[in-house]
Structure 1
Amino acid sequence: MADAFATITQRRMTGGLRIDGLDGKNIHIDPGPGALVRTYQFGLNPLKLDAVLVSHSHTDHYSDAEVLIEAMTRGMTRRKGSLMGSKSVIEGYKQFGPCISKYHLSKPDVSVLNPDKTAKLDNIKIKGTKTVHGDPTAVGFNLKTKDFSISYTSDTEYFEGLYKYHEGADVLVASVIRPKNERIRGHMCTEDFITLVNEVSPKFAIMTHLGMKMLMNDAKGEANIVKEKTGVNTVAAFDGMKINLSNFVSRQKTLYE
C-alpha cells in the first residue's frame, strides 16, 4: 500500500494485503485501487474470500471493497462472508463515508469495529485497534487464532500506548510512510516504528504504506535500520511480495502484499 501521491501516480500498487489460510480463512485487508486486478495478477482468487476488512474511509484503503464483496458473495447472489470496518466505512461519520453501499452491505455479515471491540470469523478473533489519523474512527486490526497473531496498525501516528493494542503479535504490519524521523500528522516514520517494534517485540515486522519520500530514500535500508536497532527481522513491503509465515505458526499461513 502507499500514500495518496503514490496512489495517484501508482508508483506503488495499492491493492492492500491478503492473508490466505489463516485458520482456513482468506482475508483481504484495505483493498484500495486495483485490488481486484492485482488479486488475479498474483494468482489469487477473489471468489474464495471469507472476509474483507477496511480500516478507514480514505480512498487508497477502500475503493475496491465493493467489487471484492461482490466476488465474495458470488455476484451478490449468496449471503456469504464477513465485512468488518470502521464506523466511517460502514455507517459514515461526519464528512467521512460511508464507503460501502446499502446494497453491498446486504449480503455479508457486517461488523463495525471500534478500538478494543472484537468480532469473530469462526475461530479467528478480530479486534479493532486504536489509531490517531485524519479519519477519527479509523482502526487497525489484530487477528488472533489459537496459536498465532498478526496485527496491522493501519494509518496512525505513534502515540503513547499504541503498543498495547498490538501486544502479543507474532507478526506486526505497520504503515510507515516517512523515513528516519520525518514525522507528519497521522502517520509513522521509521523512528516511530523502531519504538513500536521494541515495545511489541514481534517475531517479524513489515513496513508498508510507504510514502514517496520513503520510496525515494531506500525503504530497504530503513527496514535494515529497524532490524539493527530492535533485533527483529524487518522488511519493507514491495509490490507482489509474498511471505510464508510457517516459521511463526504451527501450520503454513501465507501473507500477500
Structure 2
Amino acid sequence: MTEDHGELPPGLALSWGVLPVQRRGPKPALSIEQIVATGIEFGDRDGFEAISLQRIAAHLGVTTNAMYRYVRSKEELIVLVNDKAVGLPPELPEGWRPAAIAWVDAQVKLYAERPWLLDVPIRGAPVTPNQLRWVEAMLTALSATGLSQHDNLGCLLLLSGYVRNYASLARQLGSSADAPVQAEQVGRFLVPRLIEGGYPTLTSVYLNQEYEDGLDDDLEFGLARILDGIDVLIAKR
C-alpha cells in the first residue's frame, strides 16, 4: 500500500526524507540539501525576505523553473529551510524545572543567532523532524511532573510563546537606533511632567532608574514566574 502525500501540508513529506517519484529524464543536478543550505545562508546573511526560489536558483546556476523539480513552492522551501535552521535541541538536565530553563535559554540563543526565524509564518503545530525534537525534549522533561498530556502541552505552548515574545522584543530593541528611554535628557524632560500630570508611581520608577529599554534580567524573572505557576498547577493536581 503506497502513501498518498497529496493532502499533506507543503514540505512535510520532504522534511521527513520522503522524496517525490522521480520522473524520467536527466539525473537531477542539485539536491534538496543544497537548496536548503543555500536558503539558510541567505537568511543568515540577508534576512528572511532574501530566501526565495529565484535567488537560490541564480546562486546555484539554474533557472527558477528548474527549482520546481525539487520543491513545489516557496512555502515548501520555507518549511524545509526553517526546520533545518532550527536544528536539534540540546541535551536537557535532569528535573523538569532545570530542563525548562535550559530549553528556553537554548531557544533564546537560537533566535539571537538567527533572528530571521521569527519571521517564518506559523501555520500550525510543529510537524517537521527538528521542530518535533524540541517538542519531544520538553514534553519528556514535563512528563515527570505528573500532569496530564494536555496540561504538559499547555505548559510547552506557554514556554514557547514566552521565548518568541522575549526574542522578538530583544530583536527590536537591538535593531533600534533610537535613544534609550532612560537617557538622561529624556528623564529630565519627563519627570517634571509626570509629577505635574499625576503619575506618582511612574515618577518613583523613573527616579530610581528602573524604567529603561534594556531587558537586563527580565528573561529570568519572567521565566521564573511561569515556572512558579507550573509548580502551583502540579501541586493542585
Query: Normalising by structure 1, what TM-score?
Result: 0.23
- Kindly indicate whether structure 1 or structure 2 has the higher relative contact order, using CA contacts under 8 Å at least 6 residues apart: 2
TM-score by length of 2: 0.25
Normalized per residue, the structure richer in strand is 1
Structure having the higher Rg? 2
Higher fraction of helix: 2
